[in-house]
A and B are shown apart, each in its own frame.
Chain A
Amino acid sequence: MIAALVRLLTGAQGRWIGCAPEPIQRIYFANHSSHLDFPVIWAALPDALRARTRPVAARDYWESSWLRRYLAEDVFRAVMIDRKRQSHESPLLPMERALDAGDSLIIFPEGTRRIDEDAGLAPFKPGLYHLALHYPQVQLVPVHLENLNRILPKGEFIVLPLIAVVRFGKPLPRLADESKQEFLERARAAVAALEDAPE
Protein backbone atom coordinates (compact mmCIF):
# COMPACT_ATOMS: atom_id res chain seq x y z
CA MET A 1 0.00 0.00 0.00
CA ILE A 2 2.84 2.36 0.83
CA ALA A 3 4.37 1.48 -2.53
CA ALA A 4 1.15 2.51 -4.29
CA LEU A 5 1.08 5.75 -2.30
CA VAL A 6 4.68 6.57 -3.25
CA ARG A 7 3.89 5.88 -6.91
CA LEU A 8 0.83 8.14 -6.76
CA LEU A 9 2.72 10.91 -5.01
CA THR A 10 5.74 10.95 -7.28
CA GLY A 11 4.17 9.52 -10.43
CA ALA A 12 7.24 7.27 -10.44
CA GLN A 13 7.44 4.52 -12.97
CA GLY A 14 10.35 2.19 -13.34
CA ARG A 15 11.86 2.17 -16.82
CA TRP A 16 13.81 -1.03 -17.33
CA ILE A 17 16.33 0.05 -19.93
CA GLY A 18 19.25 -2.32 -19.45
CA CYS A 19 17.68 -5.27 -17.68
CA ALA A 20 14.28 -6.79 -16.89
CA PRO A 21 12.61 -6.97 -13.47
CA GLU A 22 13.64 -10.56 -12.79
CA PRO A 23 13.90 -12.39 -9.45
CA ILE A 24 17.70 -12.41 -9.50
CA GLN A 25 19.77 -11.38 -6.49
CA ARG A 26 20.97 -7.86 -7.20
CA ILE A 27 22.58 -4.79 -5.74
CA TYR A 28 20.80 -1.70 -7.08
CA PHE A 29 23.08 1.32 -6.78
CA ALA A 30 21.78 4.83 -7.43
CA ASN A 31 22.44 8.54 -7.23
CA HIS A 32 21.23 10.11 -3.99
CA SER A 33 19.56 13.48 -3.53
CA SER A 34 16.39 12.97 -1.52
CA HIS A 35 14.78 11.06 1.32
CA LEU A 36 12.34 9.77 -1.23
CA ASP A 37 15.10 8.03 -3.20
CA PHE A 38 14.84 4.57 -1.77
CA PRO A 39 11.04 4.57 -1.35
CA VAL A 40 10.82 5.47 -5.05
CA ILE A 41 13.15 2.67 -6.23
CA TRP A 42 11.47 0.28 -3.84
CA ALA A 43 8.02 1.28 -5.13
CA ALA A 44 9.14 0.94 -8.77
CA LEU A 45 9.96 -2.75 -8.24
CA PRO A 46 7.26 -5.38 -8.86
CA ASP A 47 5.71 -6.79 -5.66
CA ALA A 48 7.62 -10.08 -5.72
CA LEU A 49 10.99 -8.34 -6.08
CA ARG A 50 10.14 -5.68 -3.53
CA ALA A 51 9.57 -8.31 -0.85
CA ARG A 52 13.17 -9.51 -1.30
CA THR A 53 14.86 -6.13 -1.71
CA ARG A 54 16.16 -4.12 1.23
CA PRO A 55 17.47 -0.56 1.26
CA VAL A 56 20.71 0.22 3.04
CA ALA A 57 20.31 3.14 5.42
CA ALA A 58 22.47 5.09 7.83
CA ARG A 59 21.86 4.13 11.43
CA ASP A 60 22.70 7.57 12.82
CA TYR A 61 19.88 9.13 10.82
CA TRP A 62 17.22 6.44 10.76
CA GLU A 63 17.38 5.54 14.40
CA SER A 64 17.16 9.10 15.66
CA SER A 65 13.39 9.05 16.21
CA TRP A 66 10.72 6.39 16.74
CA LEU A 67 8.94 7.23 13.46
CA ARG A 68 12.09 6.91 11.39
CA ARG A 69 13.00 3.74 13.21
CA TYR A 70 9.53 2.30 12.57
CA LEU A 71 9.65 3.21 8.87
CA ALA A 72 13.16 1.91 8.38
CA GLU A 73 12.82 -1.33 10.30
CA ASP A 74 9.21 -2.41 9.90
CA VAL A 75 8.11 -0.88 6.62
CA PHE A 76 11.20 -0.91 4.43
CA ARG A 77 13.16 -3.57 6.37
CA ALA A 78 16.25 -1.43 5.94
CA VAL A 79 19.74 -2.76 6.53
CA MET A 80 21.23 -0.34 9.06
CA ILE A 81 24.88 0.56 8.74
CA ASP A 82 27.18 2.74 10.80
CA ARG A 83 28.50 5.70 8.87
CA LYS A 84 30.46 6.83 11.88
CA ARG A 85 31.98 3.46 12.63
CA GLN A 86 31.40 3.21 16.35
CA SER A 87 32.16 -0.47 16.71
CA HIS A 88 35.07 -2.53 15.52
CA GLU A 89 33.07 -4.68 13.19
CA SER A 90 33.21 -3.91 9.50
CA PRO A 91 30.48 -1.49 8.39
CA LEU A 92 29.81 -3.85 5.50
CA LEU A 93 28.88 -6.75 7.77
CA PRO A 94 25.10 -6.03 7.94
CA MET A 95 24.98 -5.85 4.14
CA GLU A 96 26.89 -9.08 3.83
CA ARG A 97 24.45 -10.78 6.17
CA ALA A 98 21.54 -9.62 4.04
CA LEU A 99 23.23 -10.83 0.85
CA ASP A 100 24.04 -14.16 2.50
CA ALA A 101 20.34 -14.47 3.33
CA GLY A 102 19.59 -14.10 -0.38
CA ASP A 103 18.14 -10.57 -0.29
CA SER A 104 18.80 -7.86 -2.86
CA LEU A 105 20.03 -4.45 -1.74
CA ILE A 106 19.46 -0.82 -2.67
CA ILE A 107 22.54 1.30 -1.95
CA PHE A 108 23.61 4.88 -2.52
CA PRO A 109 27.38 4.81 -2.98
CA GLU A 110 27.70 8.59 -2.86
CA GLY A 111 27.22 8.14 0.88
CA THR A 112 25.03 11.15 1.43
CA ARG A 113 22.39 13.22 -0.32
CA ARG A 114 23.77 15.65 -2.87
CA ILE A 115 23.08 19.32 -2.11
CA ASP A 116 24.71 21.28 -4.91
CA GLU A 117 22.36 21.00 -7.85
CA ASP A 118 25.06 22.00 -10.34
CA ALA A 119 27.53 19.32 -9.26
CA GLY A 120 27.50 15.88 -10.84
CA LEU A 121 27.59 12.65 -8.92
CA ALA A 122 29.92 12.61 -5.95
CA PRO A 123 32.75 10.05 -5.97
CA PHE A 124 31.55 6.60 -4.89
CA LYS A 125 32.49 5.14 -1.50
CA PRO A 126 34.44 1.89 -1.70
CA GLY A 127 31.72 -0.31 -0.12
CA LEU A 128 30.30 -1.22 -3.52
CA TYR A 129 33.72 -2.45 -4.65
CA HIS A 130 34.12 -4.76 -1.67
CA LEU A 131 30.63 -6.19 -2.08
CA ALA A 132 31.27 -6.70 -5.80
CA LEU A 133 34.46 -8.56 -4.97
CA HIS A 134 32.93 -10.86 -2.35
CA TYR A 135 29.66 -11.57 -4.12
CA PRO A 136 30.55 -12.24 -7.75
CA GLN A 137 27.20 -14.01 -8.34
CA VAL A 138 25.15 -10.90 -7.39
CA GLN A 139 24.24 -8.60 -10.30
CA LEU A 140 25.22 -4.95 -9.93
CA VAL A 141 22.44 -2.82 -11.45
CA PRO A 142 22.98 0.93 -11.92
CA VAL A 143 19.87 3.01 -11.24
CA HIS A 144 19.32 6.66 -12.11
CA LEU A 145 16.79 8.77 -10.27
CA GLU A 146 15.54 11.90 -11.99
CA ASN A 147 13.71 14.85 -10.43
CA LEU A 148 13.93 13.58 -6.86
CA ASN A 149 16.14 16.54 -6.03
CA ARG A 150 13.28 18.75 -7.19
CA ILE A 151 10.49 16.81 -5.50
CA LEU A 152 12.06 16.72 -2.06
CA PRO A 153 15.57 18.18 -1.88
CA LYS A 154 17.75 17.90 1.18
CA GLY A 155 16.69 20.38 3.82
CA GLU A 156 13.12 20.82 2.56
CA PHE A 157 10.04 19.13 3.95
CA ILE A 158 7.50 20.16 1.32
CA VAL A 159 7.03 17.47 -1.32
CA LEU A 160 6.28 18.87 -4.79
CA PRO A 161 4.00 16.82 -7.04
CA LEU A 162 6.46 16.58 -9.94
CA ILE A 163 6.95 13.32 -11.80
CA ALA A 164 9.91 11.14 -10.87
CA VAL A 165 11.68 8.81 -13.28
CA VAL A 166 13.55 5.67 -12.20
CA ARG A 167 15.82 4.15 -14.84
CA PHE A 168 17.32 0.71 -14.38
CA GLY A 169 20.47 0.16 -16.42
CA LYS A 170 22.46 -2.78 -17.70
CA PRO A 171 24.16 -4.87 -14.99
CA LEU A 172 27.76 -3.84 -14.53
CA PRO A 173 30.19 -6.43 -15.91
CA ARG A 174 33.04 -7.64 -13.64
CA LEU A 175 36.48 -6.96 -15.12
CA ALA A 176 39.63 -8.73 -14.06
CA ASP A 177 42.70 -6.67 -13.11
CA GLU A 178 40.73 -3.56 -12.32
CA SER A 179 41.78 -1.29 -9.49
CA LYS A 180 39.31 -0.13 -6.86
CA GLN A 181 39.40 3.39 -8.25
CA GLU A 182 38.77 2.27 -11.80
CA PHE A 183 35.86 0.09 -10.74
CA LEU A 184 34.21 2.83 -8.70
CA GLU A 185 34.65 5.33 -11.52
CA ARG A 186 33.10 2.88 -13.98
CA ALA A 187 30.14 2.30 -11.64
CA ARG A 188 29.65 6.02 -11.27
CA ALA A 189 29.79 6.56 -15.02
CA ALA A 190 27.18 3.82 -15.50
CA VAL A 191 24.71 5.70 -13.28
CA ALA A 192 25.52 9.05 -14.90
CA ALA A 193 25.10 7.62 -18.43
CA LEU A 194 21.52 6.57 -17.65
CA GLU A 195 20.49 10.19 -17.39
CA ASP A 196 20.43 10.55 -21.16
CA ALA A 197 19.69 6.92 -21.99
CA PRO A 198 17.27 6.54 -24.91
CA GLU A 199 14.04 4.74 -24.05
Chain B
Amino acid sequence: MMIFSDPRTRYLLAAIVTLLVLGSVAGRFLERRASTERARATADNLVARTRAWWAMIIVFVGAEVAGAGASAILFGLISFAALREMLTLTLTRRADHHTLFAVFFLATPIQYWLIYTRAYGLFAIFIPVYAFLWVCIRSTIAGDYKDYLERVAKIYFALMVAVYFLSHAAALLDLDIPDFHHNVNLLFFLAIVVQFSDVMQYVWGKLLGTHHVAPHISPNKTWEGLVGGAISAAAAGTVLWWMTPFSPWQAAAMALVIVVMGFGGGIVMSAVKRDAGIKDYGRMIPGHGGMMDRIDSLCFAAPVFFHLTRYYFAIR
Protein backbone atom coordinates (compact mmCIF):
# COMPACT_ATOMS: atom_id res chain seq x y z
CA MET B 1 0.00 0.00 0.00
CA MET B 2 1.21 3.44 -0.87
CA ILE B 3 1.12 5.72 2.12
CA PHE B 4 0.23 9.24 1.02
CA SER B 5 -0.17 8.72 -2.68
CA ASP B 6 0.49 12.40 -3.30
CA PRO B 7 4.30 12.81 -3.23
CA ARG B 8 4.01 16.44 -2.12
CA THR B 9 2.17 15.33 0.99
CA ARG B 10 5.02 12.97 1.73
CA TYR B 11 7.55 15.77 1.46
CA LEU B 12 5.44 17.96 3.72
CA LEU B 13 5.14 15.15 6.23
CA ALA B 14 8.89 14.60 6.15
CA ALA B 15 9.43 18.34 6.69
CA ILE B 16 7.03 18.39 9.65
CA VAL B 17 8.59 15.33 11.26
CA THR B 18 12.03 16.94 10.86
CA LEU B 19 10.74 20.13 12.47
CA LEU B 20 9.22 18.14 15.33
CA VAL B 21 12.45 16.26 15.91
CA LEU B 22 14.27 19.59 16.03
CA GLY B 23 11.56 21.00 18.32
CA SER B 24 11.80 18.03 20.69
CA VAL B 25 15.60 18.26 20.82
CA ALA B 26 15.45 22.03 21.36
CA GLY B 27 12.84 21.54 24.09
CA ARG B 28 15.03 19.02 25.93
CA PHE B 29 18.03 21.29 25.57
CA LEU B 30 16.17 24.39 26.80
CA GLU B 31 14.65 22.43 29.67
CA ARG B 32 18.11 21.43 30.83
CA ARG B 33 19.58 24.90 30.36
CA ALA B 34 16.67 26.87 31.82
CA SER B 35 17.69 28.71 34.97
CA THR B 36 15.03 31.41 35.38
CA GLU B 37 11.35 30.86 36.02
CA ARG B 38 10.43 32.46 32.70
CA ALA B 39 12.88 30.44 30.65
CA ARG B 40 11.55 27.31 32.27
CA ALA B 41 7.97 28.25 31.42
CA THR B 42 8.92 28.88 27.80
CA ALA B 43 10.76 25.54 27.59
CA ASP B 44 7.79 23.75 29.17
CA ASN B 45 5.46 25.38 26.69
CA LEU B 46 7.62 24.24 23.78
CA VAL B 47 7.86 20.69 25.10
CA ALA B 48 4.10 20.48 25.70
CA ARG B 49 3.32 21.75 22.22
CA THR B 50 5.76 19.47 20.43
CA ARG B 51 4.32 16.50 22.33
CA ALA B 52 0.80 17.42 21.29
CA TRP B 53 1.99 17.75 17.70
CA TRP B 54 3.64 14.36 17.78
CA ALA B 55 0.34 12.93 18.95
CA MET B 56 -1.46 14.75 16.15
CA ILE B 57 0.97 13.49 13.52
CA ILE B 58 0.48 9.95 14.81
CA VAL B 59 -3.30 10.37 14.61
CA PHE B 60 -2.97 11.77 11.11
CA VAL B 61 -0.65 9.07 9.79
CA GLY B 62 -2.74 6.44 11.54
CA ALA B 63 -5.84 7.77 9.78
CA GLU B 64 -4.11 7.54 6.41
CA VAL B 65 -2.64 4.09 7.01
CA ALA B 66 -5.52 2.35 8.73
CA GLY B 67 -8.43 4.05 7.01
CA ALA B 68 -11.59 5.78 8.09
CA GLY B 69 -12.50 3.22 10.75
CA ALA B 70 -9.28 3.72 12.68
CA SER B 71 -9.50 7.50 12.44
CA ALA B 72 -13.08 7.43 13.73
CA ILE B 73 -11.86 5.38 16.70
CA LEU B 74 -8.91 7.69 17.32
CA PHE B 75 -11.04 10.83 17.23
CA GLY B 76 -13.61 9.03 19.35
CA LEU B 77 -10.97 8.41 22.01
CA ILE B 78 -9.88 12.06 21.90
CA SER B 79 -13.50 13.12 22.35
CA PHE B 80 -13.89 10.67 25.20
CA ALA B 81 -10.86 12.05 27.04
CA ALA B 82 -11.99 15.67 26.54
CA LEU B 83 -15.55 14.83 27.58
CA ARG B 84 -14.24 13.15 30.70
CA GLU B 85 -12.34 16.29 31.66
CA MET B 86 -15.30 18.58 31.02
CA LEU B 87 -17.82 16.44 32.86
CA THR B 88 -15.47 16.05 35.81
CA LEU B 89 -15.67 19.83 36.24
CA THR B 90 -19.38 19.94 35.67
CA LEU B 91 -21.95 20.12 38.37
CA THR B 92 -23.94 16.92 38.12
CA ARG B 93 -25.88 15.06 40.74
CA ARG B 94 -26.52 11.51 41.71
CA ALA B 95 -29.64 11.57 39.51
CA ASP B 96 -27.46 12.12 36.44
CA HIS B 97 -25.51 8.90 36.94
CA HIS B 98 -27.30 6.93 34.23
CA THR B 99 -27.53 9.97 31.95
CA LEU B 100 -23.76 10.34 32.10
CA PHE B 101 -23.32 6.66 31.43
CA ALA B 102 -25.32 7.09 28.20
CA VAL B 103 -23.35 10.20 27.27
CA PHE B 104 -20.01 8.41 27.61
CA PHE B 105 -20.81 4.94 26.38
CA LEU B 106 -23.69 5.43 23.93
CA ALA B 107 -23.75 8.97 22.51
CA THR B 108 -20.01 9.24 21.87
CA PRO B 109 -19.53 5.88 20.12
CA ILE B 110 -22.75 6.27 18.12
CA GLN B 111 -21.69 9.70 16.85
CA TYR B 112 -18.42 8.30 15.52
CA TRP B 113 -20.09 5.20 14.19
CA LEU B 114 -22.42 7.46 12.17
CA ILE B 115 -19.39 9.24 10.77
CA TYR B 116 -17.75 5.96 9.88
CA THR B 117 -20.88 4.79 8.06
CA ARG B 118 -21.12 8.19 6.31
CA ALA B 119 -24.64 8.75 7.60
CA TYR B 120 -24.33 12.52 7.22
CA GLY B 121 -28.04 13.22 7.64
CA LEU B 122 -28.14 11.51 10.99
CA PHE B 123 -24.69 12.47 12.25
CA ALA B 124 -25.53 16.16 11.78
CA ILE B 125 -28.52 15.95 14.12
CA PHE B 126 -27.92 12.94 16.33
CA ILE B 127 -26.41 14.80 19.30
CA PRO B 128 -28.34 18.10 19.20
CA VAL B 129 -31.66 16.31 18.82
CA TYR B 130 -31.65 12.73 20.00
CA ALA B 131 -28.88 12.75 22.59
CA PHE B 132 -30.24 16.01 24.02
CA LEU B 133 -33.76 14.63 24.25
CA TRP B 134 -32.49 11.55 26.03
CA VAL B 135 -30.31 13.52 28.45
CA CYS B 136 -33.11 15.74 29.74
CA ILE B 137 -35.70 12.96 29.90
CA ARG B 138 -33.38 10.50 31.64
CA SER B 139 -32.27 13.01 34.27
CA THR B 140 -35.90 13.88 34.97
CA ILE B 141 -36.93 10.25 35.38
CA ALA B 142 -34.28 9.94 38.07
CA GLY B 143 -36.43 12.36 40.05
CA ASP B 144 -34.17 15.14 41.29
CA TYR B 145 -35.05 18.68 40.21
CA LYS B 146 -32.34 20.51 42.14
CA ASP B 147 -30.31 22.70 39.73
CA TYR B 148 -32.06 20.83 36.95
CA LEU B 149 -31.65 23.29 34.10
CA GLU B 150 -28.08 24.03 35.06
CA ARG B 151 -27.11 20.35 35.13
CA VAL B 152 -28.74 19.56 31.81
CA ALA B 153 -27.29 22.66 30.10
CA LYS B 154 -23.79 21.79 31.28
CA ILE B 155 -24.03 18.24 30.02
CA TYR B 156 -25.27 19.62 26.67
CA PHE B 157 -22.34 22.01 26.43
CA ALA B 158 -19.76 19.32 27.19
CA LEU B 159 -21.32 16.96 24.66
CA MET B 160 -21.44 19.67 22.00
CA VAL B 161 -17.83 20.84 22.31
CA ALA B 162 -16.01 17.62 23.13
CA VAL B 163 -17.96 15.23 20.90
CA TYR B 164 -20.18 16.96 18.33
CA PHE B 165 -17.84 19.75 17.27
CA LEU B 166 -14.71 17.62 17.21
CA SER B 167 -16.39 14.81 15.29
CA HIS B 168 -16.56 17.15 12.27
CA ALA B 169 -12.79 16.86 11.95
CA ALA B 170 -13.10 13.09 11.50
CA ALA B 171 -16.02 13.66 9.10
CA LEU B 172 -13.71 15.56 6.72
CA LEU B 173 -12.42 12.17 5.61
CA ASP B 174 -15.87 11.22 4.29
CA LEU B 175 -16.46 14.21 2.01
CA ASP B 176 -16.92 13.35 -1.64
CA ILE B 177 -15.04 16.04 -3.55
CA PRO B 178 -14.76 15.88 -7.37
CA ASP B 179 -11.20 15.28 -8.66
CA PHE B 180 -9.83 15.19 -5.13
CA HIS B 181 -8.95 11.97 -3.39
CA HIS B 182 -6.67 12.98 -0.55
CA ASN B 183 -9.27 13.86 2.05
CA VAL B 184 -6.76 13.29 4.80
CA ASN B 185 -5.06 16.45 3.46
CA LEU B 186 -8.10 18.47 4.59
CA LEU B 187 -7.55 17.22 8.12
CA PHE B 188 -3.88 18.02 7.78
CA PHE B 189 -4.67 21.53 6.50
CA LEU B 190 -7.06 22.18 9.39
CA ALA B 191 -4.63 20.91 12.02
CA ILE B 192 -1.64 22.80 10.63
CA VAL B 193 -3.52 26.10 10.36
CA VAL B 194 -4.99 25.78 13.87
CA GLN B 195 -1.67 24.90 15.46
CA PHE B 196 0.33 27.43 13.49
CA SER B 197 -2.18 30.12 14.39
CA ASP B 198 -1.99 29.21 18.09
CA VAL B 199 1.80 29.48 18.03
CA MET B 200 1.88 32.67 15.98
CA GLN B 201 -0.73 34.33 18.18
CA TYR B 202 1.48 33.49 21.14
CA VAL B 203 4.62 34.81 19.38
CA TRP B 204 3.02 38.03 18.06
CA GLY B 205 1.34 38.57 21.41
CA LYS B 206 4.70 38.31 23.19
CA LEU B 207 6.37 40.62 20.68
CA LEU B 208 3.79 43.36 20.24
CA GLY B 209 0.79 42.57 22.42
CA THR B 210 -0.61 45.49 24.40
CA HIS B 211 -4.38 45.58 23.77
CA HIS B 212 -6.14 42.71 25.49
CA VAL B 213 -9.18 41.15 23.89
CA ALA B 214 -10.70 39.97 27.17
CA PRO B 215 -8.26 40.62 30.01
CA HIS B 216 -10.45 38.99 32.64
CA ILE B 217 -10.60 35.74 30.73
CA SER B 218 -7.22 35.30 29.14
CA PRO B 219 -4.32 37.65 29.89
CA ASN B 220 -2.33 36.19 26.97
CA LYS B 221 -4.80 37.00 24.22
CA THR B 222 -4.21 40.36 22.60
CA TRP B 223 -5.55 42.01 19.45
CA GLU B 224 -1.99 42.29 18.13
CA GLY B 225 -1.50 38.57 18.68
CA LEU B 226 -4.80 37.75 17.02
CA VAL B 227 -4.14 39.89 13.94
CA GLY B 228 -0.51 38.76 13.65
CA GLY B 229 -1.52 35.12 14.14
CA ALA B 230 -4.35 35.43 11.63
CA ILE B 231 -2.09 36.93 8.95
CA SER B 232 0.67 34.37 9.57
CA ALA B 233 -1.73 31.43 9.56
CA ALA B 234 -3.56 32.71 6.48
CA ALA B 235 -0.18 32.94 4.75
CA ALA B 236 0.64 29.38 5.82
CA GLY B 237 -2.76 28.22 4.58
CA THR B 238 -2.21 29.94 1.23
CA VAL B 239 1.17 28.27 0.81
CA LEU B 240 -0.50 24.90 1.41
CA TRP B 241 -3.26 25.44 -1.19
CA TRP B 242 -1.86 22.67 -3.42
CA MET B 243 -2.77 19.98 -0.90
CA THR B 244 -6.42 21.05 -0.79
CA PRO B 245 -9.23 21.32 -3.34
CA PHE B 246 -9.04 25.12 -2.89
CA SER B 247 -7.44 27.83 -5.03
CA PRO B 248 -4.79 29.93 -3.24
CA TRP B 249 -7.32 32.66 -2.46
CA GLN B 250 -9.88 30.18 -1.23
CA ALA B 251 -7.21 28.52 0.90
CA ALA B 252 -6.37 31.90 2.43
CA ALA B 253 -10.04 32.59 3.20
CA MET B 254 -10.49 29.12 4.72
CA ALA B 255 -7.39 29.62 6.86
CA LEU B 256 -8.75 32.96 8.09
CA VAL B 257 -12.05 31.36 9.08
CA ILE B 258 -10.19 28.58 10.87
CA VAL B 259 -8.06 31.14 12.74
CA VAL B 260 -11.04 33.19 13.88
CA MET B 261 -13.01 30.13 15.02
CA GLY B 262 -9.94 28.67 16.70
CA PHE B 263 -9.40 31.91 18.58
CA GLY B 264 -13.05 31.81 19.65
CA GLY B 265 -12.62 28.23 20.88
CA GLY B 266 -9.54 29.10 22.90
CA ILE B 267 -11.16 32.05 24.61
CA VAL B 268 -14.50 30.31 25.26
CA MET B 269 -12.82 27.32 26.85
CA SER B 270 -10.68 29.69 28.94
CA ALA B 271 -13.87 31.32 30.22
CA VAL B 272 -15.16 27.89 31.27
CA LYS B 273 -11.90 27.24 33.12
CA ARG B 274 -12.03 30.64 34.85
CA ASP B 275 -15.58 29.99 35.95
CA ALA B 276 -14.60 26.61 37.38
CA GLY B 277 -11.58 28.16 39.13
CA ILE B 278 -8.98 25.97 37.44
CA LYS B 279 -5.95 26.57 35.25
CA ASP B 280 -6.04 23.40 33.14
CA TYR B 281 -8.67 20.86 32.25
CA GLY B 282 -6.64 17.91 33.39
CA ARG B 283 -3.26 16.43 34.02
CA MET B 284 -3.05 13.93 31.23
CA ILE B 285 0.45 15.12 30.47
CA PRO B 286 1.78 15.95 33.96
CA GLY B 287 2.21 19.70 34.30
CA HIS B 288 0.92 20.43 30.82
CA GLY B 289 -2.83 20.33 31.16
CA GLY B 290 -5.31 17.94 29.72
CA MET B 291 -6.74 16.97 26.38
CA MET B 292 -9.23 19.83 26.26
CA ASP B 293 -6.45 22.40 26.74
CA ARG B 294 -4.82 21.10 23.54
CA ILE B 295 -7.88 20.77 21.29
CA ASP B 296 -10.08 23.76 22.21
CA SER B 297 -9.29 25.70 19.02
CA LEU B 298 -9.66 22.60 16.86
CA CYS B 299 -13.09 21.84 18.32
CA PHE B 300 -14.48 25.23 17.32
CA ALA B 301 -12.82 25.43 13.90
CA ALA B 302 -13.71 21.89 12.75
CA PRO B 303 -17.49 22.22 12.18
CA VAL B 304 -17.23 25.54 10.32
CA PHE B 305 -14.39 24.31 8.12
CA PHE B 306 -16.33 21.10 7.48
CA HIS B 307 -19.51 22.89 6.44
CA LEU B 308 -17.78 25.43 4.19
CA THR B 309 -15.87 22.65 2.44
CA ARG B 310 -18.92 20.47 2.14
CA TYR B 311 -21.17 23.26 0.88
CA TYR B 312 -18.84 24.77 -1.69
CA PHE B 313 -16.61 21.89 -2.78
CA ALA B 314 -18.22 18.51 -2.11
CA ILE B 315 -20.93 16.58 -3.91
CA ARG B 316 -23.88 16.72 -1.55
Contact = CB atoms under 8 A, between A and B. Distances in A.
A19 interface: no
A153 interface: yes
Contact of A161 (B84, B94, B283): B84
A160 B283 contact: no
A178 interface: no
Interface string A155-177: 01010111100000000000000
Interface in B230-266: none
B282 interface: yes
Contact of B87 (A149, A156, A162): A162
Given A117-B93, A150-B92, A153-B94, A161 B85 contact: no
A147 interface: yes
A10 to B, nearest CB: 10
B135 to A, nearest CB: 14
B283 A13 contact: yes
B42 interface: no
A83 B100 CA distance: 34
A163 B84 contact: yes
A198 to B, nearest CB: 11
Contact of B88 (A149, A158, A162): A162
Contacts of B88: 11, 147, 162-163
B97 A156 contact: yes
Contacts of B92: 150
Main SS class of interface, B: helix
A163 B292 CA distance: 14
A160 B101 CA distance: 6
Contacts of B98: 158
Interface string B60-84: 0000000000000000000010001
A149 B84 CA distance: 16
B142 to A, nearest CB: 11
A160 B84 CA distance: 9
B104 A163 contact: no
Given A158-B101, A160-B104, A163-B282, A117 B85 contact: no
Contact of B104 (A11, A13, A149, A161): A161
Contacts of A156: 97
A150 B90 CA distance: 11
B87 to A, nearest CB: 6
Interface of A: 11, 13, 117, 147, 149-150, 153, 156, 158, 160-163
18 contacts: A11-B84, A11-B88, A11-B282, A117-B93, A147-B88, A149-B94, A150-B92, A150-B97, A156-B97, A158-B97, A158-B98, A160-B97, A160-B101, A160-B104, A161-B80, A162-B84, A162-B100, A163-B84
Given A156-B97, A163-B88, 18 more contacts: A11-B84, A11-B282, A13-B283, A117-B93, A117-B94, A147-B88, A149-B94, A150-B92, A153-B94, A158-B97, A158-B98, A162-B84, A162-B87, A162-B88, A162-B100, A163-B84, A163-B85, A163-B282
